[in-house]
Chain A
Amino acid sequence: MSNLVELNMGPQHPSMHGVLRLRLKLDGEIVREIEPIIGYLHRNAEKLCEMDYFCDNIVYFDRMDYVGAMNMEVGFLEAAEKLLGVEPPERAQWIRVVAAELNRIAAHLVWMGAFGLDLGMLTPFFYCFIEREKILNIFVELSGTRQQYNYMSIGGVYQDITPKIIEEIKEFIKQFPKKLEEIANLFLKNDIFLSRNRGLGVIEKETAISYGVTGPILRASGVPYDVRKEEPYLVYDKLNFDIPVSQKGDNLARFMIRLEEIRQSVKIVDQAITKIPDGPYFNPKAKKSLMIRLRGEGEVYARTESSKGEFGVYIVGDGGVKPYRVHVRSPTFKNLSIIPAVAKDKMIADLIAILGTFDLVFGEIDR
């Protein structure tokens, strides 16, 4: 006979980042068993993709990681363009890098603010969101929408980047590092924050690899795995940036890795924005009117580095105008599976803090 209290946390809960449901067995304040239950945002995007033309599938990817939708589009197009044999022109590739990296900054800022909220810090949330808002305003100029951009399309981007937008991005990049340090100081000069996160939720290197964890969480555990370096896509091989790695594997390490990644993304945007070459932004082979006639056969797996980790898209084509099978390797889906191992025998407050560092976005986990 066990004296454990069963607590059902979620799917509606302030810090479940959407609709995660955790079935906890509590021994007082201490969590003894964790069973994540997911699927409350399941839309079966993979089935929807099978039912639509290649060019229409981008909208489903926008709605996966809705805080970093540009990265999702890049991920899908890497696969789809290889399958369909359409190469985006160079200008489009540079624009995609700029958009993806700006969106990575925005996604990490959202995470940082939400992580502060998880720990009970109200103020940094607003500082993060003010900066994110500036990026979203640039995206509004660029694509017309704030979050679900549908900006990139097969064979390029939907709309050219104008000198005015380039100026705006340059302006943002100029003022952002100072603001970022301000935000970082809100966290890192706070003793309570440090003492709550240092040494908490340590993920060993072997455990992380065995669970298939990728992204900042894996890099915080000491594996320097970043797809942008290992298998460069777009024009990442022409850019100069570093991959931050930490050996500690705790909450604070994950925070520092993401913080450093923002700085690296700033560096990338700073380089890329000046290097955008002239030329067409759209491959004429995939002209809009003909796009639905594009046919693909064979199978393609493309991995990209989204803000959460290795985002992979596996497309099987049967020679038709619609994909035969689409499978998405969602990084957060894999990352979440390690939670029962990491947060076991911790207190509820620690469980929330650990969950906070995992950067969960449920559009992507449930798909």
Chain B
Amino acid sequence: MSLLERLFGVFSFLGHDLGYAVSYLIQAVLYLIVIALLLILMIYLFRKFMARLQQRLGPNRVGKFGSLQLIADAFKLLGKESILPSERDNFPFVVAPMMVLIGLMLAFVLIPYGSLYWIGSITATHSAVSVILIFALMAIMPIGELLAGVSSHNKYALLGALRAVAKDVSFEVPMMLSLLAVVMMASARVSTPLDMESLISAQFLAYGILQPLGIFLFFIAMVARASYTPFDMGESDSELVSGYSTEYTGMRFAMFYIGMFGTILLGSTLLSTLYLGGYSGPFSSSIGPIWVFIKAIILVLISFTVWLSLPRIRIDKFVNFGWKYLLPVSFINLILVGILTLGLGW
């Protein structure tokens, strides 16, 4: 039994077509709420974690231990006037933050979450090529950033967008190559290695242990994609004011902000699925989502530590790093995994 079927069980009086339509809609809304809550929880966690690291208190005014601070912030941002610059390209300017958010939300849906004990499987949708689909959806977000930078007609925004594109191009190839290694290794055991669920079932031993180079590459690429501090050249608040989001205010800015935190969570979830066995673990048939969540949160905390302790890399150094080191290393990783897969029959 999955979540969808349970919902259909409730709405079956509407008939087959309408019932499924309503259940899909409700399921989508539920996902949206859960993901939004998770993100709010994560931003709260980030702020508290940052405060601990910096020897200060963090949010502690709204609610117990400041737990309602993010809700208050959300209301504040909703109430703010969204100032539109007069020189903008209207359509792309308005659409850009939505693209970032929509790309993020859609990518979350494709991740397999396993089954929770009294609901059953809560994986939203299933596809035989879900890996490719996820990365296709994640590729929407840089386009949103680029659109935002170009349509603002602001030199800082343009420079930020150019940097973001240069950064994205140089880490995307190593990321895909390390993903290819995962799929290659899985293809020796399962018939549909592009399906995330069969990727998980193929991991008799977590791929992070078998492919230490691969998990390292993927982690760096994930940090770069989420564009926080060592790789936040797109925003680089001390140089380009705020990069591509310079001209955005209010809720539109919040969409970029949520987009960044969402990418961290998405990247961590993806990493835990591809390399750390996703929902598998002890009692995985009843608490699968909790395993996904625990693994993701550990990765998120690691990435926060990276964020808060490193300075920004210069863009040309990062591009150099991407092409001169990451790319050869990812090829080496691919070859090693090939040898493992063929030679040892894994």
Contacts and interface: CB of A to CB of B under 8 A. Distances in A.
Are A and B subunits of one complex?
A: yes
Interface of A: 5, 7, 13-15, 26, 29, 116-123, 125-127, 130, 186, 190, 192-193, 195-196, 347-350, 352
B54 A192 contact: no
The 8 closest A-B pairs by CB, nearest first: A120-B312, A126-B54, A119-B311, A15-B238, A121-B311, A120-B311, A349-B314, A118-B238
A354 to B, nearest CB: 12
A349 B55 contact: no
Contact of A348 (B53, B55, B240, B310): B240
A122 B229 contact: yes
B314 A347 contact: yes
Contacts of B229: 120-122
Contacts of B230: 120, 192
Contacts of A352: 238-239
Nearest to A15: B238
Nearest to A117: B238
Contacts of A14: 237-238, 241
A187 B44 CA distance: 27
A29 B159 contact: yes
Contacts of B316: 29, 347
Contact of A195 (B163, B315, B317): B317
B324 to A, nearest CB: 14
Given A14-B238, A119-B238, A196 B308 contact: no
Nearest to B54: A126
A193 B159 contact: no
B155 interface: yes
B136 to A, nearest CB: 30
B272 interface: no
Given A29-B159, A192-B230, A195-B317, A349 B56 contact: no
A119 B239 CA distance: 9
A13 B240 CA distance: 8
Interface of B: 50, 53-56, 155-156, 159, 163, 229-230, 232-233, 236-241, 308-317
A222 B54 CA distance: 35
Contact of A193 (B236, B241, B311, B315): B311
B203 to A, nearest CB: 33
Contacts of B317: 195-196
B311 A349 contact: no
Nearest to B235: A120
Nearest to B238: A15
Contact of B53 (A13, A117, A123, A190): A123
A123 B239 CA distance: 18
A268 B64 CA distance: 46
A126 B54 CA distance: 6
B54 A122 contact: yes
B311 A190 contact: yes
25 contacts: A5-B155, A7-B155, A14-B237, A15-B238, A29-B315, A29-B316, A120-B236, A120-B237, A120-B238, A121-B309, A121-B310, A121-B311, A122-B229, A122-B308, A123-B53, A126-B56, A186-B309, A192-B310, A192-B311, A196-B314, A196-B317, A347-B315, A348-B159, A349-B233, A349-B315
Given A7-B155, A118-B238, A123 B309 contact: yes
A348 B163 CA distance: 12
A43 B171 CA distance: 50
B150 to A, nearest CB: 14
B311 A127 contact: no
B169 to A, nearest CB: 15
B167 to A, nearest CB: 12
Contacts of B54: 122-123, 125-127
A24 to B, nearest CB: 10
A116 B54 CA distance: 13
A116 B312 CA distance: 10
Contacts of B55: 126-127, 130
Contacts of B312: 119-120, 192, 349
Nearest to B158: A5
A28 to B, nearest CB: 8
A186 B54 CA distance: 12
Contacts of A348: 159, 239-240
A190 B310 contact: yes
A118 B314 CA distance: 12
Most buried by B among A14, A120, A121, A190: A120
A29 B166 CA distance: 12
A119 B155 CA distance: 21
Contacts of B240: 348
Contacts of B159: 7, 26, 29, 348
Contacts of B310: 120-121, 190, 192
A186 to B, nearest CB: 8
A14 B239 CA distance: 8
A119 B240 CA distance: 12
Nearest to B53: A123
Contacts of A193: 311
A122 to B, nearest CB: 6
A193 B311 CA distance: 6
A194 to B, nearest CB: 10
A348 B241 CA distance: 12
A131 to B, nearest CB: 11
Given A122-B50, A123-B53, A130-B55, A192 B237 contact: no
A120 B318 CA distance: 15
Contacts of B50: 122
Given A13-B241, A125-B54, A126-B56, 5 more contacts: A120-B310, A121-B309, A123-B54, A190-B309, A352-B238
Contacts of A120: 229-230, 232, 236-238, 310-312
A12 B6 CA distance: 56
A120 B229 CA distance: 7
Contacts of B56: 126
A5 B240 CA distance: 14
A15 to B, nearest CB: 4
A118 B316 CA distance: 18
A7 B156 CA distance: 8
B156 to A, nearest CB: 8
A116 B311 contact: yes
